Amino acid sequence: MRAAVVTRFGEPDVFEVRELPDPVPGPGRLAIDVTHAAVGLIDVYVRQGLYKDRAGLPRPPYVPGLEVAGTVRALGEGVEGFRIGEPVVTLSGTGADGGYASIAVVDAAMTAGLDGAGVDPATAVAAVPNAATAYLALTEVARFTPGERLLVHGALGGLGSAFPGMARYLGASAVVGTARRASLDAARASSLPYDEVVAGEDLIEAVGERRFDVVVDPVGGRLRTDSLQVMAPMGRMLLVGNAGGDWGHTLPSNALWGGNLAVLGFAAGFYLPTHPEMVRPAAQAALKAIGQGLVDIRTEVLPLTQAAEAHRRVENGSVGGRIVLAL
């Protein structure tokens, strides 16, 4: 098979496209003929070596890629419920890798069928994993209920952009996004179902008297602390990432009890392996929301040979949607 290999931790130029032996699925695993693999910030962090001491994550040389779409090539022992040739997409489980390759071996439990969904594979891999994450974060963690109001930071980012559609699907009464000033025009021009997108730098003034029941924060830093001031009583803030890169940021804990607020964390990659029964309902909700046109994420497709360029662009925050590699 052909694969883009991270040869050592470091800059995007560590990628090499190589021929490797075809992998064979072990028990509980599936081999997929990959047509498309999504590139996310998590792939960048792992390549940089940020998680090099964390158990279960790959070390060079390795093939990155947590999320793939393609067709089932072979079933490992004990795998049921899939047929050879069936179109599928994977959600991301801990330690999942191997996606930037013409054949990927994945956990069958983390895989969802696309038969009859009417979603092409590039769209599926760009949108289903993040929309499924949004569904799980909103329903299982934030306990979102119809009529509630949502604020989403990183409104146009790969993960952030899945939330407005999923919140609408779940009956949100208002959805406001934030973006950096440089990205505001693009965010406002997108077809994502935001009522409004405001500059994160001006959050408090821009939202005025409006208050939010759920805040979704994949960005962190000052925006995270500012958000406490625009939450409704009994509001929940969902911490889902740290795209702003301020890894040492802390929150003023007294603001929580004083304001009747909750701060919750969610990482799909660590949740799904222990809750495999949630893969199917989350994928189904994602496909329904996508089918209703609610998760129309801007997707750019690059060839596998441009894996380094894809990483460069995700790393410098210039994507405004998702980059997907075509095999």
Ligand X SMILES: NC(=O)c1ccc[n+]([C@@H]2O[C@H](COP(=O)([O-])OP(=O)(O)OC[C@H]3O[C@@H](n4cnc5c(N)ncnc54)[C@H](OP(=O)(O)O)[C@@H]3O)[C@@H](O)[C@H]2O)c1
Is residue 154 part of the contact set for ligand X (CB under 6 A)?
yes
> Among the candidate windows 75-83, 228-236, 262-270, 282-290, which touches ligand X by CB under 6 A?
262-270
Q: Which is nearer to ligand X, 79 or 127 (CB)?
A: 127
Is residue 311 within 8 Å of 289, Cβ to Cβ? no
* Whole-angstrom distance, CA of residue 82 vs CA of residue 320: 34
* Whole-angstrom distance, CA of residue 144 vs CA of residue 137: 9
Strands 15-19 and 2-6, how do they pair? antiparallel
- List beta partners, residue 69: 36, 89
Q: Which is nearer to ligand X, 142 or 179 (CB)?
A: 179
Provide the minimum distance between the beta carbon of 104 and ligand X in the complex, in angstroms, as a whole number: 18
Among 267, 301, 302, 326, binds ligand X (CB under 6 A): 267
* Whole-angstrom distance, CA of residue 307 vs CA of residue 43: 11
DSSP for residue 138: I
Q: Which is nearer to ligand X, 73 or 180 (CB)?
A: 180
Among 31, 219, 230, 278, binds ligand X (CB under 6 A): 219
Among 12, 158, 165, 273, binds ligand X (CB under 6 A): 158
Q: Report 184-213 residues binding ligand X (CB under 6 A).
A: 200
Q: Report 282-321 residues binding ligand X (CB under 6 A).
A: 314, 317, 319
> Among the candidate windows 94-102, 226-234, 247-255, 267-275, which touches ligand X by CB under 6 A?
267-275
* Whole-angstrom distance, CA of residue 288 vs CA of residue 310: 29
Among 12, 23, 40, 70, binds ligand X (CB under 6 A): 40
Q: Concatenated DSSP letters for 295-327?
A: ----EEEEEGGGHHHHHHHHHTT--SSEEEEE-
Residue type, 149: R
The distance of Cα 30 from the centroid of its chain, to the nearest Å, equals 22
Among 12, 64, 160, 165, binds ligand X (CB under 6 A): 160
> How many residues are listed for the chain in this entry?
327
Provide the minimum distance between the beta carbon of 68 and ligand X in the complex, in angstroms, as a whole number: 15
> Among the candidate windows 21-29, 204-212, 252-260, 264-272, which touches ligand X by CB under 6 A?
264-272
> Among the candidate windows 29-37, 93-101, 167-175, 242-250, which touches ligand X by CB under 6 A?
242-250
> Among the candidate windows 8-16, 40-48, 169-177, 279-287, which touches ligand X by CB under 6 A?
40-48
* Whole-angstrom distance, CA of residue 64 vs CA of residue 6: 7
* Whole-angstrom distance, CA of residue 3 vs CA of residue 16: 8
**Beta carbons within 10 angstroms of residue 225's beta carbon:** 14
Among 23, 266, 307, 308, binds ligand X (CB under 6 A): 266
Secondary structure (3-state) at 101: strand
Per CB under 6 A, residues contacting ligand X are 40-42, 133, 154, 156-160, 179-180, 183, 200, 218-219, 240-245, 266-269, 314, 317, 319
